[in-house]
């Protein structure tokens, strides 16, 4: 099997990309939104939007730490420090530009405690999910402990999961997109898909192993796994294709608000498919200590 | 199973699916989808309850009481389907924060929303600070009066201004607005000593049984002294106590105008806050933003579904058609569940639903790939179906169980955003698992041909003849 034979190439690619993602995230950092850091976000729309420079100039005199971005065709998103109600009045008054009173579409203020809570809860639940998955897979694969311990199936599934989450996150950090709550949703979705995907391929290995055992067929482990990858390839690709189609539709035709979500999910689907074909099963073979005639 | 029964069952299921679809399409007035604030527009407020003075054991009850009071207050303003919930959050190791989360659909003016809640008065009964001598007390009382005049608290302020460098003439008692049964507007009766005030409005308070007992104790303790009635942290009345009052009633005789009295009675009756609150975060979402987003999202979803349908039909042919029907049924079952449970749909929740659709499609693809494999191994059509199903089922089961475990953990530990995702995702995966083994299975067996002919191959095997 081509993939198993070249397993180290594929594993190395995944490792390098994951490592690069970690480096990008820790060096460049994520552009955390106010949901995580605390602060205010104001979205306004105009009949006819004034120039960006005009808006910036209008806010320059205040200590709002305002960051203005165009949003949609005729609106702006303004991120600031945490605003009081009085601040908001001042801000809205100064946004009355070109004799237009802007429509306030959204005004969010998040206190710093709420922000850090979302961060810590998201992290805690992801870690708990990882632990639960290791236990579940170890249990589900308990009957195929030979030649690879069922714990390893669980650990590898979680390694694939980490790969699927960290690389899109790294790319997100690299392009400097803002990390909002939707990013958390995207990462959660990737987790949901990633493990499902990995288990399907593992399940085929499990079935092949059982078949070999009942037919007393002495097949090297690497071959068994390779067969499983080949047998599930069509399914992996077809499923990914349908997901990619739906997500592309969301990215192209969907609302601005969910474009970033669609983007991260596309990345997650792509790398999730990579890991279930080129990473998880090859790792299984690589981790098999009994080097039975390859 | 008998093929005729199978076919009848399949037809019944189809009719059931159509009926569910009809229910969804026609029930938008009677039972509409519950949209979260991010989709419907509205205001989301989070308050911190300043609960440190309340004993640990009573905190939960106090929070419940707080929630009830604020709910009543909001209902006075006729907001449709508001949601008021209490939450606790752990901050660090020992500190536990009690929060109140208020969601007001349709209210997009933050200031209006804050006022709506903030106007709820905080009523407290206080007694003379026993550490003070009579002279000190009189001095403190004078200071407090001056201070009150100097910085008149704004109408509707919830929390007292915290300038504690003055000596407090009064200390809190247990009696608060929480023990108030109701209040009403009355007028001063002509009588000894108050001829001047005859006819001016007074506010009569009626306590609950417990409140009446507390009030009796307080008045007994303070015979010959004064008690103070505080509203929103400021003394509004400091009556002199002549005797123990046991009837469970009290009156406030401030210098109110008739209009002020009426408002105050209304506010007191809607409930006094048992716990002071402080605003932590506000969020308002314009309805137009929500509507645009929903429409664009729907269109994107539709294009995506059309593509999936076309792909399944072209690639898997007859089974593909069944998958399309099964997925359609899956869709109507999910939407029906969203309506009848009901599930509040948020952007995150819809993402969870979309991902679960992906997993439902995957289940069908898994089954068909297995079936094709078994057909290629030369099994009969019926056999291939059966074996294909059994084998694919193990993958579907384990994959989906892992997804459900994730959903449960996320629901348990997540914030409300994560919960919204986890709920639709979890329900989605569960339902997709059930539809894959029931609907797809029944329909496939209902149309399964007995012999593998050329046509059957063409219909089932996407032309991979071997």
Interface test with B, best of A73, A185, A237 (most B CBs within 10 A): A185
- Nearest alpha-carbon partner for A236 in A191, A183, A267, A278: A278
Looking at B237, B269, B301, the residue that finishes a domain is: B269
- Of the two residues B398 and B257, the one the predictor is more confident about is B398
Q: Tell me: pLDDT of A16 over 90.
A: yes
A102-124 residues labelled b (16+ CB within 10 A) or e (exposed): bebbbbbbbbebbbebbbebbee
CB atoms inside a 10 Å sphere around CB A147: 14
B229 and B128 together in one domain: yes
Q: Is A85 on the interface with B (CB under 8 A)?
A: yes
Give the closest-approach CA distance of B285 to chain A in angstroms. Answer: 4
User: CB distance A129–B410 less than 8 Å?
Assistant: yes
Choose one of B120, B155, B175: the last residue of a domain.
B120
Contact assessment for residue B46 and residue B97, using Cβ atoms and an 8 Å cutoff: no
- Quick check: A200 and B366 CB within 8 A? yes
Contact A207 B91 (CB under 8 A): no
Contact criterion met (CB < 8 Å) for B303 and A184: no
Domains defined along chain A, listed by start: 2-33+113-286 (1.20.1640.10), 39-110 (3.30.70.3400)
Cβ–Cβ contact B246 with A under 8 A: no
The answer to whether the CB atoms of A250 and B297 lie below 8 A apart is yes
* Banded pLDDT at A21 (limits 50, 70, 90): very high
Mean pLDDT of the A14-26 span:
94
Contact A242 B296 (CB under 8 A): no
pLDDT class of B178 with cuts at 50, 70, 90: confident
- B421 and A85: CB-CB below 8 Å? no
- Smallest Cβ–Cβ distance between B406 and the set A122, A129, A206 belongs to A129
Query: Does the pLDDT value for residue A263 go beyond 50?
Result: yes
CB spacing of B347 vs A133 below 8 angstroms: no
Is residue B339 pLDDT above 60, yes or no? yes
How confident is the model at residue A126, as a pLDDT?
86
For the ranges A247-251, B82-86, B180-184, the lowest mean pLDDT is seen at B180-184
| Residue B53 backbone zone (phi > 0: left; psi -120 to 50: alpha; other: beta) | alpha
In-domain check, residue B263: yes
> What residues of B are in contact with residue A85 (Cβ under 8 Å)?
110-111, 114
Same domain, B308 and B365: yes
Contact (Cβ atoms closer than 8 angstroms) between residue B275 and residue B218: no
Q: Do B417 and A137 touch (CB under 8 A)?
A: no
Q: Which residues of A touch B307 (CB under 8 A)?
A: 242, 245-246, 249
* Cis ω before A147 (30° cut-off from 0): yes
Encode pLDDT of A225-251 as tens digits.
Answer: 999 999 999 888 988 888 888 888 888
Q: How confident is the model at residue B1 (pLDDT cuts 50, 70, 90)?
A: low
Pick from B280, B391, B394: which is nearest to A114 by CB? B280
d(C-alpha A218, C-alpha A223), whole Å? 10
On whether any CB of chain A is under 8 Å from the CB of B83, the answer is no
Q: Are residues B53 and B106 in the same domain?
A: yes
Instruction: Kindly report the CATH number assigned to the domain that includes residue B140.
Output: 3.30.1360.200
Mean pLDDT, chain B, as a whole number? 78
Q: Do B308 and A231 touch (CB under 8 A)?
A: no
Q: What is the band of B354 on the pLDDT scale with cuts at 50, 70, 90?
A: confident
Chain A contact set for B97 (CB, 8 A): 113
- Name the more confident of B309 and B277: B309
B202 in any annotated domain: yes
Say yes or no for a CB contact (<8 Å) between B301 and A121.
Answer: no
Identify which has the larger pLDDT, B94 or B344.
B344
pLDDT at A118 over 90: no
Query: Is residue B277 in some structural domain?
Result: no
A12: pLDDT confidence band, cut at 50, 70 and 90? very high
Q: A152: helix, coil or strand?
A: helix
| B143 plus B212 within the same structural domain | yes
Contact B407/A at CB under 8 A: yes
Residue B135 and residue B86 in one domain: no
* B102 shares its domain with B128: no
Q: Please tell me if residue B432 touches chain A, with a CB cutoff of 8 Å.
A: no
Tens of pLDDT, residues B208-222? 888 888 888 888 888
pLDDT at B153: 44
A257 vs A294: which has the higher pLDDT: A257
Asked if B89 lies within 8 A of A117 by C-beta distance, the reply is yes
Any domain includes B275: no
Residue that wins the pLDDT comparison between A139 and B381 = A139
pLDDT in tens, B189-207: 765 455 556 677 888 888 8
Q: What is the mean pLDDT of residues B379-406?
A: 88
Say if the Cβ atoms of A125 and B110 lie within 8 Å: no
Q: Which of A46, A44, A21, A144 is closest to A92 using CA atoms?
A: A44
Low-confidence winner among B132-141, B166-175, B186-195, B306-315 (lowest mean pLDDT) = B186-195
Interface mutation vs chain B, best among A90, A126, A192, most B CBs within 10 Å = A192
Domain co-membership, B308 together with B422: yes
Token pair of B25 as six digits: 């399409």
Task: Please tell me which of the candidates A188, A199, A252 has its beta carbon nearest to residue B421.
Answer: A188
Best of A246, A252, A259, A266 to disrupt the B interface by mutation (most B CBs within 10 Å)?
A246
How far from the centroid of its chain's Cα atoms is residue B33's Cα? 15
Average pLDDT for residues B104-132, to the nearest whole number? 75
Residue B462: pLDDT above 80? no
Q: What spatial distance separates the first Cα and last Cα of chain A, rounded to whole Å?
A: 11
CB contact A158 to B (< 8 Å)? no
> Among B75, B235, B65, B268, which residue's Cα sits nearest to residue B141?
B235
User: How high is the pLDDT of residue A270?
Assistant: 94
Residue A14 above 90 pLDDT?
yes
pLDDT averaged over every residue in chain A: 86
Domain-embedded: residue B335: yes
Q: Are B425 and B407 in contact (CB under 8 A)?
A: yes
pLDDT at B119 over 80: no
Which among A106, A188, A265 is the nearest to B418, CB-wise?
Answer: A188
Q: In this complex, is the C-beta atom of A247 within 8 Å of any C-beta atom belonging to chain B?
A: yes
Tell if the CB–CB gap between B399 and A203 is shorter than 8 Å: yes
Report the percent of chain B where pLDDT is more than 90.
6
pLDDT surpassing 90 at residue A156: yes
Q: Which of B49, B312, B351 to mutate to test binding with chain A, by most A CBs within 10 Å of its CB?
A: B351
CB contact under 8 A, B361 and A137: no
B414–A108: do the CB atoms touch at under 8 Å? Answer: no
Give mean pLDDT, residues B322-345.
89
- What pLDDT does residue B155 have? 42
Closest by CA to B239, choosing from B128, B120, B123, is B128
**A114 touches B: beta carbon within 8 Å:** yes
pLDDT value at residue A294: 44
Answer yes or no: do B111 and A85 touch at CB < 8 A: yes
Are B23 and B81 in a shared domain?
A: no
Is pLDDT at B5 greater than 90 in this prediction? Answer: no
B261 shares a domain with B292: no
Regarding whether B260 and B135 lie in a shared domain, the answer is yes
Q: Name the burial class of residue B195, with classes exposed (0-12), middle (13-18) and buried (19+) by CB atoms within 10 angstroms of its CB.
A: exposed
Q: Residue B78 — φ and ψ, nearest 5°?
A: 70, 35
**pLDDT confidence of residue B465:** 43
Beta-carbon neighbour count of residue B132 at 10 Å? 18
- B123-161: pLDDT as tens digits: 788 887 777 777 777 777 777 666 665 554 444 444 444
Average pLDDT value for residue range B380-395? 86
- The reply to whether B465 falls in a domain is no
pLDDT(A17) > 90: yes
Does B50 touch chain A if contact means CB atoms closer than 8 Å?
A: no
C-alpha to C-alpha distance for B429 and B407, rounded to whole angstroms: 9
* Position B318 in a domain: yes
Q: Which of B287, B358, B375 to mutate to test binding with chain A, by most A CBs within 10 Å of its CB?
A: B358
> Is residue B313 pLDDT above 70, yes or no?
yes
Full residue range of the structural domain in which residue B259 is found: 123-269
- Give B154: exposed, middle or buried? Use CB within 10 Å, 0-12, 13-18, 19+: exposed
Residue B101 pLDDT exceeds 80: yes
Asked if A105 and B285 come within 8 Å (Cβ–Cβ), the reply is yes
Q: What are the percentages of helix, strand and coil residues in chain B, rounded to 5?
A: 55, 20, 25
The predicted structure's pLDDT at residue B161: 45
Note whether B332 and B426 are same-domain residues.
yes
pTM flag (> 0.80): no
Domain finish residue from B269, B302, B337? B269
Please give the pLDDT value at position B337. Answer: 92
pLDDT of residue A158: 92
Mean pLDDT of B440-460: 74
Q: What is the pLDDT of residue A132?
A: 92
Question: Is the domain of B237 the same as that of B340?
Answer: no
Residue A37 in contact with partner chain B when CB distance is under 8 A: no
Residue B198 has a pLDDT of 65
B102 contacts chain A (CB < 8 A): no
Domain total for chain B? 3
- Beta-carbon pairs below 8 A across chains A and B: 220
Chain A CB contacts of B401 below 8 Å: 136, 140
Average pLDDT over residues B219-239: 77
Q: B418 vs A104: CB contact, 8 Å cut-off?
A: no
* Position B278 in a domain: no
Instruction: Say yes or no: A121 contacts chain B, CB-CB below 8 A.
Output: yes
Chain A residues with beta carbon closer than 8 angstroms to that of B286:
43, 103-106
- pLDDT tens sequence across B395-442: 899 989 999 998 999 888 877 778 888 999 999 999 998 888 888 888
Closest CA to B311 of B301, B321, B300, B299: B321
């Amino acid at each position: 099997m081509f993939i198993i034979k070249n397993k180290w190439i594929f594993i190395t690619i995944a490792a390098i990309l994951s490592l690069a993602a970690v480096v990008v995230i820790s060096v460049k950092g994520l552009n955390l939104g106010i949901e995580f850091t605390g602060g205010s976000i104001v979205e306004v729309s105009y009949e006819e939007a004034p120039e960006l420079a005009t808006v910036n100039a209008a806010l320059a005199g205040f200590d709002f730490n305002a960051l203005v971005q165009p949003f949609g065709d005729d609106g702006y998103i303004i991120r600031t420090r945490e605003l009081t109600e009085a601040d908001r009045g001042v801000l809205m008054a100064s946004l009355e530009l070109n004799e237009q009173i802007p429509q306030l579409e959204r005004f969010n203020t998040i206190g710093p405690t709420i922000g850090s809570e979302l961060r810590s809860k998201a992290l805690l639940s992801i870690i708990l999910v990882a632990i639960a998955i290791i236990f579940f897979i170890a249990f589900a694969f308990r009957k195929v402990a030979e030649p690879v311990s069922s714990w390893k199936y669980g650990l590898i599934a979680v390694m694939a999961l980490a790969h699927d989450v960290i690389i899109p996150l790294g790319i997100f950090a690299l392009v400097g997109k803002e990390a909002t709550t939707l990013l958390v949703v995207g990462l959660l979705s990737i987790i949901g898909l990633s493990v499902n995907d990995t288990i399907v391929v593992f399940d085929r290995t499990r079935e092949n192993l059982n078949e070999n055992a009942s037919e007393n067929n002495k097949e090297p482990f690497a071959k068994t796994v390779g067969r499983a990858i080949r047998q599930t390839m069509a399914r992996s690709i077809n499923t990914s294709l349908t997901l990619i189609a739906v997500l592309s539709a969301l990215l192209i035709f969907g609302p601005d608000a969910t474009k970033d979500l669609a983007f991260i999910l596309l990345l997650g689907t792509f790398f999730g498919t990579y890991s279930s074909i080129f990473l998880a099963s090859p790792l299984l073979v690589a981790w098999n200590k009994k080097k039975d005639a390859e | 199973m008998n093929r005729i029964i199978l076919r009848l069952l399949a037809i019944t299921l189809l009719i059931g699916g159509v009926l569910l679809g009809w229910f969804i399409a026609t029930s938008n007035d009677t039972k509409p989808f519950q949209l979260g604030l991010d989709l419907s527009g509205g205001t989301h407020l989070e308050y911190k309850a300043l609960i440190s003075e309340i004993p640990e054991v009573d905190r939960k009850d106090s929070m419940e009481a707080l929630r009830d009071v604020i709910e009543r207050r909001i209902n006075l303003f006729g907001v449709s389907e508001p949601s008021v919930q209490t939450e606790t959050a752990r901050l660090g190791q020992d500190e536990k924060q009690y929060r109140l989360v208020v969601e007001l659909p349709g209210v997009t003016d933050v200031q209006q929303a804050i006022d709506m809640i903030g106007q709820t008065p905080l009523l407290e009964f206080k007694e003379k600070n026993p550490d003070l001598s009579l002279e000190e007390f009189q001095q403190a009382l004078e200071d407090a009066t001056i201070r009150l005049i100097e910085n008149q608290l704004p109408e509707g302020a919830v929390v007292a201004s915290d300038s504690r460098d003055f000596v407090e003439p009064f200390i809190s008692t247990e009696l608060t607005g929480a023990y108030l049964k109701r209040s009403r507007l009355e007028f001063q009766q002509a009588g000894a000593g108050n001829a001047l005030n005859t006819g001016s409005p007074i506010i009569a308070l009626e306590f609950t049984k417990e409140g009446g007992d507390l009030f009796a104790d307080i008045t007994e303790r303070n015979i010959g002294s004064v008690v103070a009635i505080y509203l929103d942290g400021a003394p509004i009345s400091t009556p002199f106590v002549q005797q123990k009052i046991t009837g469970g009633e009290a009156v406030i005789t401030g210098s109110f105008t008739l209009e002020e009295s009426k408002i105050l009675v209304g506010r007191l009756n809607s409930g006094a806050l048992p716990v002071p609150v402080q605003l932590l975060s506000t969020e308002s979402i314009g309805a137009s933003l929500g509507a645009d987003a929903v429409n664009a999202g729907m269109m994107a979803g539709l294009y995506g579904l059309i593509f999936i349908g076309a792909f399944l039909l072209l690639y898997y042919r007859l089974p593909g058609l069944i998958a399309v029907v099964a997925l359609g049924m899956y869709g109507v079952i999910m939407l029906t569940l969203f309506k009848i449970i009901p599930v509040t749909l948020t952007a995150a929740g819809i993402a969870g639903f979309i991902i679960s659709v992906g997993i439902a499609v995957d289940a069908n693809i898994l089954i068909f790939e297995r079936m094709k494999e078994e057909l290629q191994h030369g099994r009969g059509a019926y056999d291939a179906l059966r074996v294909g199903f059994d084998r694919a089922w193990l993958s579907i089961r384990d994959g989906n169980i892992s997804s459900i475990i994730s959903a449960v953990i996320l629901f348990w530990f997540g914030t409300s955003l994560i919960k919204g995702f986890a709920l639709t995702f979890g329900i989605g995966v569960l339902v997709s698992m059930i539809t894959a083994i029931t609907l797809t299975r029944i329909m496939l067996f209902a149309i399964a041909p007995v012999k593998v002919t050329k046509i059957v191959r063409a219909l089932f095997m996407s032309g991979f003849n071997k």
